[in-house]
Structure formats: structure tokens, C-alpha cells
Amino acid sequence: MPFMDAFNTQAYHPRLLVVDDDPRSRASLRELLKDSVMELATAQNGKDALAQLSTGRFDLVLLDLCLPDVGGHTIMDFISREAIDVDVVVISGRVEIDAAIGALKRGAFDYIRKPYGLEELTTTVRNALEQRRLRQANRHIALELEHSERMYRYLVDASPDIIYTLDREGRFTFINDRVSRLLGFQRDQLIGQHYGELVLEDDLELANHAFNERRSDGRASRNVELRLKRSADVRHPASRANDPMTISLNASGMYLQSGSSERPGFVGTYGVVRDITDKKRAESVISYQAYHDILTDLPNRSLFQDRLGMALIQAKRNKTELAVMFIDLDRFKLVNDTLGHHKGDALLQQVARRLKRCLRQGDTLARQGGDEFTVVLPDLHRHEDARVVAAKFIDSLEQPFDLDGHTAHISASIGIAVYPDHGETLDELLRNADTAMYQVKGEGKNGFAFFDQSSREMLDRRTVLGHGLRQALALNELEMYYQPQVDTSTNRLVGAEALIRWNHPTRGLILPGEFLPYAEENDLIPALSEWMIDALCRDMPRWSRVDDTLKLSLNLSPRYLDRGKIYDKLRSAMSDHDISPDRLEVEITENICISNPQHAIEQLERLGQLGVSVAIDDFGIGYSSLAYLHRFPVDTIKVDQSFIKAIEDEDTPYPVVLAIISIARGLGLHLIAEGVESEVQVRYLRAHGCTVMQGFLFHRPMPIDEFIATIDRKAQQHAEPVPGKPMMN
């Protein structure tokens, strides 16, 4: 049947009010309803909607929650307060669970999220108007009951609700046919039976006060929720035989004047039973989702805090211990960035299942968000019990994870705080467990630790260092160091890698491995990257007067590359300092190529158009792929120092190193070996075709003045290089 044909009659002409500040939404709804006989009005803001609702009659309001002046919830409160007879369907782009709960609590017929499907919208509007029509029919039934028994029975049996009457003892004297469809009982089976035969046993006490109502005035039972039994012969498509039906009950006493009595006598009860099972089920789902993580089905932060609060009350009352654990997954970001968020979500689900198997029935595992989990272990007898659980967690994560054919390895860092030794409040225990977890992170990850005061002091130092890094940018405490790259076949400098250092006012020189994690946490990576570009472009003209052939490489964070500002920043800095682009090379990690390949290609191709070359740093330690080397505009491969460090014998083959050298040679790429520290490594690399190297054997990273002096000294050396042995500094 075409949409709204059911309402194209002279007897029923629904009036709809569309409240939306988006003119496109209003236009699309008008286009949808143009072929029906419905009357459509629109309001472009909340004030307009309130004015029209105050003066006009409407059957249905299609209401957007996010309006520029008066919010949708406020409009619904106005409808309720003024007792306006209109139904509301909320159509909103808001995804918060509180928005949906707030709308349903205010009596909304349904809640549709934007963007919605055509079928979803039309079905909802049809159902809302149909329900309204049925309610109007019920009111008509109530009026006709006073005039015609025949009309009464016809209309009552067509009602979507169960309508019944009871005698003074609570036995059914009438019940309509709706009971057969909803509960599976034939009306003849129930006539003469007590209402208690239908009521679930746990609800009988409440039913005794409501089902057989004697009051008939404003104190009569209204919207009392009960559960009724279903027959094994139930035919209702959405119900099962042993699944009770939740109802909303309205009941009122019936009185008749008898004989010469001055007061009417009580003769029974009249009631209406509405099936609200689906509504209660929907409310239950919404409530469950409000307190559970949708991805892992674990309790979320709110529910965890409720359970921890209850566990603390019991621990204080029973004088027992409890433990709180804070779990952070190691290397999860690498999996998420390289294999994608879909695989990352699958990994989190598998982790949740493994961790849950390690717990007792009364323990709680919750997901805090991201790759962080929390655990509460109530009723502990000793600290060792928490240690045993933490060890089980670590063991459970040792086995690899299968992500649709991709194998992933992760571990966890676990901090433990025990009540009452490590805190007596919820906030103290969570904070101290988090602190202990950071201690494990700092000591190499993949383990667990109990909170102690040294952990707190370490975290305080981390916090101070994080705040100090912002000041370092403003106070010019940062400095660029340069590590030369040597062509061992000529013993000449061919380039250098730019490395950032922090000249801390009290701690002295701090290496990037210590302060870059804080930069990541505080979103300072873009600012640091731009400072590095400015600094090296400022330094380059100084050594160019001595040697204008050296190529400078700069290692930039994936986060900075993702933001897409590197092209404009490099172009501006090179222009300001008159730097030729062929003197610069940008180093990236190969994981950038996999996490978002198309975006990375676009950014790197723009650098190529600028004249800047690209190197893949730490090649071989990530998810290497020849396909990416073919697709990406790469000029240089840098062999990771972990592979170079393994070279201890000139006569032993090292397959990974040989494979990388072969890849570079086959693709015509430049090759640089990082971390060279021994003459054996030099001879092995040279023998197999890799001649350009950097490492402590040649030069350590050095400040600009020392770097210029080194360039000058090398430029003045005219001795031939000794084959197989580099000239040392």
C-alpha cells in the first residue's frame, strides 16, 4: 500500500508539524508527504513550534532536538505541561544515549537518528498515526459504551488493548478478544476465573491493589505496570509461551444505584490492559547500553565505578581487602595503525574474553576506553591473590591473536592498588593503580606492579616534565643536533640526520626518547615538528659555507604528516632561509605507509613536487611490503640498527640485512645503515654493497658548532681512505 494511503479518507485527515532548523530536512519531508491528504505545517525554530502548538491542533510532531533557540526536550516538556494532545517522533543527529533516554522518558513515540532511511521514517510515521487513530477509537469506544451494548462489543473487540470487567470477588465477567492474540487464552476460558490466574506470582501483591480497583475517582489506578502469564498456545508473533507480557493497567471501580440505597453500590471493576512489552524491552536495551561498552559488552566506566563503590562499602563493613587493577595494552596502537581500526576492535574483543576467563564470578572487568581496562577484585584475603590474577592476565595475553589471517602479538602493563593500604576511596585507588601501571610502562612494559610511593613520585616527575616541555618551546631550550652520515668508500661526509635535544635548565641534556612520549600525550608533536623544520633551515646556511653538498634528513612524526601541513611549512621555511629542496630529505616510518596509504601517498607526492626526497626509517621492523615500496615515492631506505647490531661475524650470513640490501639495489634506492658501532659491521656491509653508514663508530650526534668544525676538518683532509677501515673521530 502506498505511504499514507491508509489515512486518505474524509474521516481522518492527520495534521503534522515538522520542527527542524535545517531547510533541507523540511523540504525533504514535504516532498515525501506531498501525495497524501495530510496537512503539513513547518516550524524553523523552537519558538515558532511553541506558538503553533499553542494555537493549532496537530496529530504528530516530527521534532529535531538540536534547535538554535529552544531545545527539543523543552518543547516536549511544554507539550506535557500544557496537556496538548499530540504525539512526538524525535528525529535528531545526536548520538548520545542520554538524548534518546530523555526523549523516551518524555513520552516520545520513537527516536530516529539522522541520517535516517526512507523506509525507517515512513514506517515510524505510519505506526505513530496508526497508534493515534487506535487511541482515538478507544476513546470513541468509551463513549459508545453508554449508548449501545452491541456497538460496545464490536468496538471493544477491535481494540488493540485488553478490556475487561470483574465482579466484586475479582472474577472476570467480560474480556475482549484481544486477550487471545496477546496472551493466548480464549475469552471463554477466563470468564468466571479470578484475575490472579493471569498475574505472574511475583506481581500478585501489586495486582491485588490495582487489578481489582474499587476507586472510581481521580485516585483510581493509572498506568500500573504488571506482568501477565502467556498461554502455551500464544499466537503473538513477537512472543514466546513462557515469556511474560508487561502491561500498563488502568482500572476503575463500577457502581450502580440499587433500590432505596442513598449511595451507589460497588458491582465490580472495569479495566484496560495495554501491552508495553516492546517498550520495556527497548528501555531495557537503552539502559543496558548506557552502562556497558558496546564493543566488548563489558561494564563501562560508570558501571565500574558503581560496582567499585559498592565493593568498598562491603570491604569497610566486613574489614576485608579489595584490589583495583588498571590495565593498559602494550603495542596495541601499532596493531591499530597498521592493520586498521576494524582489526583493532576485533583484538579488543578477544582480549576482553581472555581477561574475563581469568576472573571469579564476583569480580568485575570493565573497559575504560581505548585499550585501557580496569578490574575490581573484592573479598581478598591477602595481596598475593591479586598477584596471582595479574600473572594470569599476563600469561593469557602471551599467545598470539588471530585477526582474520593476521597474527598480532601484544602484552599488558598492569598497576595494582589494594584497599586499604593504597587508598580508602574510589578515586585514590583508581589513581594509584594508574600510577603503578605507568611504573610498569617505564620499566619495559609486559608486567605488573603494586603501588608504592616511588610510583607516585615518578608520575609527579612525568607531570612536571610534560608541563616543562611547553615552556621549553617558548623559552628556546630546544636544540638541534646532527649525526653525520659517511660514505665509507671515500670516507667523506655525504649527509647528516637532524635530531632534537632538550637543554633542561636543571637536568641538563635530555634525549628525545624521554620527552617525546610526553609530547605525544600533550599533543605537542606538531609544534615540535614545526620548530625542528625552522631550526634546521636556520642552521643549514651556516655549514653550507663550508660544504654545500651535504644532504640533511629530518625524522618527522606520523601524526604531523597526517595533519597535512608539512608541505606548506617546508616550502615557507626553505623560502625564508633560501634552502634548496634537493638538500633535504624527510624520514618516515614504514607503518605510515600502511595505516593510511592513500593519504600518505598524497602527502609524499607533494613533497616530491617540492623537490624534497623521502626516506623510510627503521626499515624492516614493521609490516614491510614490497607493494608499498612500489607505490610510494621513496628515494632512500635506512636499515634499522637492530639488524646491524646483530652483525658480529664477517663470515656469517645475516639474511634480513642481505634481503634489504637486495631490495634497495633492485629498486634503485639509496641505502643507509644506522647504528654502526664496529669495524666488523663496516666490513660486512661494504662487502655486500652498503657503503653509506651512520653510527657511534663514526660520529655521535653533535651541536651545530661542532658539526660545522667536523665538516671543515673533513673538507681539509686529502688522504685517501683506508679500505675496510673508516677514519675515526
Identify the pLDDT of residue 726.
46
Q: Residue 287: CA atoms inside 13 Å, Cβ hemisphere, count?
A: 7
Residue 219 has pLDDT above 80, yes or no: no
> Domain locations in the chain?
5-138, 161-283, 292-451, 479-716
479-716 is a CATH 3.20.20.450 domain: yes
369-373 mean pLDDT: 91
Label residue 405 left, alpha or beta by phi (over 0 means left) and psi (-120 to 50 means alpha). left
Which among 34, 25, 24 has a CA at the least distance from the CA of 2? 34
pLDDT in tens, 546-582: 888 899 998 877 777 766 678 888 889 999 988 899 8
Cα 212 to Cα 271: distance, rounded to the nearest angstrom:
9
Question: CATH code for 161-283?
Answer: 3.30.450.20
Among residues of the chain, what percentage have pLDDT more than 70?
86
Q: What are phi and psi of 453, to 5 degrees?
A: -65, -30
- pLDDT at residue 672, rounded to an integer: 95
In this predicted structure, what is the pLDDT of residue 1? 41
Joined grid coordinates for residue 376: 575490581
pTM of the model: 0.47
What architecture is domain 292-451? 2-Layer Sandwich (3.30)
Q: Which of 4-13, 128-137, 325-334, 651-660 has the lowest mean pLDDT?
A: 4-13
pLDDT of 149 reads 61
Q: Cα(503)–Cα(522) distance, rounded to whole angstroms?
A: 19
β-strand 478-487 against 492-504: which pairing, if any? antiparallel
pLDDT at 396 over 80: yes
What pLDDT is attached to residue 3?
A: 45
pLDDT at 463: 67
Nearest CA-CA partner of 627 in 593, 584, 576: 593
Mean pLDDT of 685-703: 95
- 722 confidence band (pLDDT: 50, 70, 90): very low
Q: Which DSSP symbol is given to 35?
A: T
Please tell me the predicted confidence (pLDDT) of residue 623: 43
Handedness of CA 400, 403, 407, 413 (dihedral sign): negative
Tell me the percentage of the chain whose pLDDT exceeds 90. 29
- Name, in order, each residue with C-beta under 8 angstroms of 623's C-beta and a sequence gap of 6 or more: 338, 339, 590, 591, 594
Lowest mean pLDDT among 53-62, 193-202, 248-257, 473-482: 248-257
| Whether the predicted pLDDT of 701 surpasses 90 | yes
- Comparing 60-64, 504-508, 627-631, 652-656, the range with the smallest average pLDDT is 627-631
Question: pLDDT (tens digit, 9 = 90+) per residue, 30-59?
Answer: 777 666 667 888 998 999 999 999 998 999
| Residue 165 pLDDT exceeds 50 | yes
What is residue 7's predicted lDDT score, i.e. its pLDDT?
A: 46
Q: Which fold has domain 5-138?
A: Rossmann fold (3.40.50)
Q: 591, 338 in Cβ contact below 8 A?
A: yes
Q: Is the pLDDT at 631 greater than 90, yes or no? A: no
Beta strands 508-510 and 670-673, pairing class? unpaired
pLDDT of residue 457: 65
Same-fold call for 292-451 versus 479-716: no
Cross-strand partners of 374: 326, 366
Model confidence pLDDT, tens digit, residues 284-313: 788 788 888 989 999 999 899 999 999 999
Amino acid identity of residue 492, one-letter, is R
Q: Which three cell numbers stand for residue 551?
A: 644532504
